């Protein structure tokens, strides 16, 4: 019997944040199937999820619950919104139906319980039931088991399996291949905006071998001699938290170090420690031989530390009322006049800096921020960082945008940073382009620190 397709893309291209994020996408999904999509980039995930929700009747389960927290579980399940109105049921009938459906799936939650009083794990389980009750043929789940305990993982997967038996289809996009292998019928691995490989369940052992990066175990003595003859500028020792476990590494002067294979939780937690959003309780971080005290982004800049994050809109880095030269210049506070106005001498200095490379075309200098394309905005932001000349640069997902022009700009930026003596720490979920720019590439996987090269 031929399988019923609930979703089909043929040669689909998607532009997201001004870049071609998805390229020639061919993908099909069938009834009662759980398809896993391995994606490391949040930008790719956002683009794919938006495309699916636009093209198909699908229910999305992500970081933020789509349930109304001030309402009860029963009202959330059986208040079906269509157009401007809503189909409301008699309260007694609503609660009776809710108790019945929750009982069918052995979910220990009362129908009259307010959603805001439930833990996130229970809310996500109820979202699965809501999608089924309201007739969505497809459920899209992002980062399936993030923040879940082992017990909650098993419970969520139990409900998902029962829904598959009832002809419910799933698309699960995740950064963790082991999670996908536990629940999916097939896995599609994204590579630079395309589906590079597809593996069916019987091929999953090959899938693991394909995805596994070549790593070698490291003994402590190797780490001690990694920077022999060079001055250590930044050091992390035995850093542990909610997701990190005993993370240890160092960055030396005039060196680019990349830390790859961090999942989203680990990467985010480490960034929060480094920018001062989360207090360091277990472990030691030092900068130039002293305890590392970030406090705030502004305080970091005063210490000669800057942060580059590539998974947000470039538009947020650019002032629409300023031209190209002014936008580049605005980040360098030390060169501002007392009145806060950019003087002609400062603009002449910037023009002198821009006689070569991307900014060599003078006709672009006076374009305002609202006239610029996305690639120009990234060049402006990178040039602004370059003029600030930080001593230490912390980069998060620096190759998150799958665009050759952005890749080239980033590589040129890192090359210049190293020439002027900037030390660079790159935090990434994958290894894309890292071998091209790193002096040392380290992998952090499952609490173990290993050098890749």
The per-residue DSSP string of 156-169 comes to HHHHHHHHHHTT-E
Q: End-to-end CA distance of the chain, in Å?
A: 50
Q: Which residues does 145 contact at the CB level (< 8 Å), separation at least 6?
A: 152, 153, 156, 176, 179
For residue range 150-192, list pLDDT tens digits in order: 778 888 889 999 999 999 999 999 888 888 888 899 999 988 7
Long-range pairs for 104-107: beta carbons < 8 A, 24 or more residues apart? 105/129, 105/159, 105/162, 107/159
Model pLDDT, residue 228: 57
What are the beta bridge partners of residue 236? 249, 285
- Give the span between the Cα atoms of 51 and 141, in whole angstroms: 14
Tell me which of 295 and 99 has the higher pLDDT: 99
- Give the span between the Cα atoms of 343 and 339, in whole angstroms: 10
Q: At what angle do helices 91-104 and 120-133 cross, to 10 degrees?
A: 110
Residue with tokens 């009750």: 133
- Give the span between the Cα atoms of 39 and 180, in whole angstroms: 11
Residue 430's CB: how many other CB atoms inside 10 A?
A: 19
Residue with tokens 């459920």: 139
Are 271 and 396 spatial neighbours (Cβ–Cβ below 8 Å)? yes
Nearest to 323 by CA among 347, 339, 340: 347
Are 396 and 309 spatial neighbours (Cβ–Cβ below 8 Å)? yes
The CA radius of gyration of the chain, in Å to the nearest whole number, is 25
Diameter of the chain measured on Cα atoms = 77
Model pLDDT, residue 452: 53
Over pLDDT 90: what percentage of the chain? Answer: 28
Given a cut of 50, whether residue 90 has pLDDT beyond it is: yes
The two tokens of residue 285 are 């971080």
DSSP state of 72: B
Are 40 and 64 spatial neighbours (Cβ–Cβ below 8 Å)? no
The two tokens of residue 43 are 């930008």
Model pLDDT, residue 221: 34
Model pLDDT, residue 311: 75
Give 218's pLDDT tier (boundaries 50, 70, 90): very low
Query: Residue length, the chain?
Result: 453
- Give the span between the Cα atoms of 280 and 272, in whole angstroms: 9
For residue range 399-447, list pLDDT tens digits in order: 888 788 888 889 999 998 998 899 999 998 878 889 899 999 887 654 4
Q: What is the 3-state secondary structure (H, E, C) of 60-123?
A: EECCCCCCCCCCEHHHHHHCEEECCEEECCCHHHHHHHHHHHHHHCCCCCCCCCEHHHCCHHHH
What are the beta bridge partners of residue 188? 37, 198
- Give the span between the Cα atoms of 409 and 425, in whole angstroms: 17
């Amino acid at each position: 019997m031929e399988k019923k397709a609930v979703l089909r893309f043929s040669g689909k291209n998607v532009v997201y944040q001004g870049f071609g994020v998805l390229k020639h996408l061919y993908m099909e999904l069938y009834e009662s199937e759980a398809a896993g999509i391995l994606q490391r980039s949040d930008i790719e995930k956002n683009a794919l999820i938006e495309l699916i929700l636009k093209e198909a009747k699908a229910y999305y389960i992500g970081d933020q619950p789509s349930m109304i927290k001030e309402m009860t579980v029963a009202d959330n399940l059986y208040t079906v919104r269509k157009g401007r109105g809503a189909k409301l049921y008699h309260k007694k009938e609503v609660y009776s139906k809710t108790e019945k459906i929750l009982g069918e799936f052995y979910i220990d939650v009362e129908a009259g319980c307010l959603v805001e009083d439930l833990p996130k794990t229970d809310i996500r389980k109820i979202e699965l039931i809501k999608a089924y009750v309201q007739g969505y043929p497809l459920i899209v789940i992002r980062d399936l088991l993030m923040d879940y305990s082992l017990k909650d993982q098993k419970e969520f997967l139990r409900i998902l399996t029962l829904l598959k038996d009832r002809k419910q289809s799933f698309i699960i996009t995740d950064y963790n291949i082991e999670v996908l292998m536990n629940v999916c019928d097939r896995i599609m691995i994204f590579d630079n905006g395309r589906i590079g490989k597809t593996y069916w369940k019987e091929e999953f052992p090959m899938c693991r071998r394909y995805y596994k990066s070549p790593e070698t175990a490291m003994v402590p003595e190797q780490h001690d001699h990694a920077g022999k003859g060079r001055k250590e500028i930044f050091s992390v020792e035995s850093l542990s938290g909610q997701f990190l476990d005993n993370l240890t590494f160092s960055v030396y002067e005039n060196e680019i170090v990349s830390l790859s294979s961090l999942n989203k939780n680990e990467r985010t937690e480490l960034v929060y420690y480094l920018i001062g959003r989360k207090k360091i309780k277990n472990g030691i971080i030092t900068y130039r031989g002293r305890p590392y005290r970030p406090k705030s982004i502004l305080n970091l800049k005063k210490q000669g530390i800057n942060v580059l994050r590539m998974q947000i809109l470039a538009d947020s880095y650019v002032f629409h009322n300023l031209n190209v030269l002014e936008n580049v210049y605005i980040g360098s506070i030390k060169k501002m006049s007392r009145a806060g106005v950019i003087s002609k001498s400062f603009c002449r200095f910037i023009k002198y800096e821009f006689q070569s490379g991307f900014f060599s075309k003078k006709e672009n200098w006076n374009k305002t921020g609202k006239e610029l394309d996305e690639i120009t905005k990234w060049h402006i932001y990178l040039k602004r960082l370059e003029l600030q000349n930080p001593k230490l640069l912390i980069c998060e997902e620096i190759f998150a945008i799958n665009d050759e022009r952005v890749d080239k700009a980033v590589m040129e930026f890192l090359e210049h940073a190293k020439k002027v003596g900037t030390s660079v720490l790159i935090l990434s979920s994958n290894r894309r382009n890292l071998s091209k720019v790193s002096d040392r590439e380290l992998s952090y996987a499952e609490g173990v620190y290993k050098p890749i090269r």
